[in-house]
Every structure is written in structure tokens, then in C-alpha cells.
Amino acid sequence: MSGHSKWATTKHKKAALDAKRGKLFAKLIKNIEVAARTGGPDPDSNPTLFDAIYKAKKNSVPNDNIERARKRGGGLEAGGAEYQTIMYEGYAPGGVAVLIECLTDNRNRAASEVRVALTRNGGSLADPGSVSYMFHRKGVVVVPKSGTTEDDVMMAALEAGAEEITDLGENFEVVSEAGDLIGVRKSIQDAGIDYESAESSFLPTMQVPLDADGARKVIKLLDALEDSDDVQNVWSNMDVPDTVLAELEEDE
């Protein structure tokens, strides 16, 4: 898991700085709107909304945009779209399994964009259930290393039900059962530890190790999927060893 997580963390950091910033903002705002519609517009009583707003702020989404999305989703302001969540399953080159979460107001458009992104990049759609069994839904809290130690994070997180803490270079990744996510996040907060994000995620139970060429192909496909406005999250079971990761970073 660490190879993929490390790559995802590196990519996410770069994405916030480059031309994809606008797309990232749009996805974070959509998360806020859906969380407010599902659990109400008050972040104090809606932890999913709290985390969606927190992540948006961490990624420098303007407060006005955050507030408007919260009000739209909570029905306090007109103009909210009716988004539905759809999961697609697919394969990337090299037999890598891919889970694609869409948040869309147009089911046909989302399906078409996912299919095109997969087939144009050497992948294919898979039948429902043929890929998802290789992933477990987990809670993931990302904690920056600066200002804390692994022992501090461990003490706060394990007490609240965390299962595993992984060193990702610049961050620690704290994994728990999805149902324990809020408790783990609160425990980390109560310990005075800053965190980057807390969200439900799909983590692979088995992985496919890739060489640099294979990793490039899979990353190209994942980027094409994430380029779709309807695609909210993409998870894969590719494993990128540190030596390959170093080679990929030289491509930048």
C-alpha cells in the first residue's frame, strides 16, 4: 500500500499547485454540497461535512465558495444539483484493478466518460463485483510529519481504534475501520496534532507491483479518469516500489 499511497500523496501535492487546481476545487466543493445535503448544513453535528470543509480549507479553497456550497447542499440557498454516487469497476494495463467513484447529476455522461478514459488508455470496464472484492473500505487520516512524532500519532490514534500507521515520507497515514474514522480523527485533534485530511477510502487487499513503464501507463489512465468532472475518486491496487517511484519523479 505504501508505494501507491506515496505516489498518490506526491501527485496530490503537485495537483494543488498546477493547472488541475480548478478541478480539485470543484471536486472538494461538490463533496461539501453532498455532505450538507446528506447530513445537514451544520458541520458541528455533521462530521462528514466537517471533514469535507476542513479538507477544502487545507487546499486553499476560498471561504466564500465553501460557504455557498454548504448552504446549497443544506437547502439554505437555491441552486444545488442532485448528485448521485455511482461506482464503476475496471482494469488498467498490467491487470491493475481500478475502482472509480463518480458523483454526478448525469449518469449517462459519467458512464461514457469513464468508458472512454479506460479504453483510450489501455484499460477496460469490468463487471460489477469483479474488482471491488479486492478492496476494503477504510478510514484514512493523513497527518503531516512536521510538528509531531510517530509515537505521538500512534498514542492518539491507536487508543481510538486505528489499525495501522504508515510512514509516507512527509506524512503519516493512519488507517482504521471506516466506522472508527471520526473517533480516530477526533482523538488526533484532541491530542493537538494537525492533520491534512480525514476521509473514507478504498484500500487494496492485494497489490500488483509495477516497473517504471507499467507505472507510467497506469498513471496515465488514472490521470485521464480524474480529469473527468464526474469522477470524484479513483483507487487502484498498483504497487509502485520506491526505486520505481524515484525514476518516475525524474520524469517530472
pLDDT for residue 19: 56
User: Angle formed by the axes of helices 21-39 and 47-58, to 10°?
Assistant: 160
CATH assignment of the domain containing 234:
3.30.70.980
Residue 118 has pLDDT above 80, yes or no: yes
Q: What percentage of residues in the chain have a pLDDT greater than 90?
A: 71
Alpha carbons within 13 angstroms on the beta-carbon side of residue 202 total 22
- Helix ranges restricted to H, the chain: 2-15, 21-39, 47-58, 63-73, 107-119, 150-159, 181-190, 212-226, 242-251
pLDDT confidence bin for 242, thresholds 50/70/90: confident
Same domain for 215 and 114: yes
- Residue 133 is given by DSSP the state G
Q: Domain range for residue 7?
A: 2-73
Q: What is the mean pLDDT of residues 200-215?
A: 92
Give how many domains the chain has, as a whole number: 3
Same domain for 28 and 8: yes
- The structure's pTM equals 0.85
Instruction: Quick: pLDDT tens for 145-199.
Output: 988 999 999 999 998 999 999 988 889 999 999 999 999 999 999 999 999 999 9
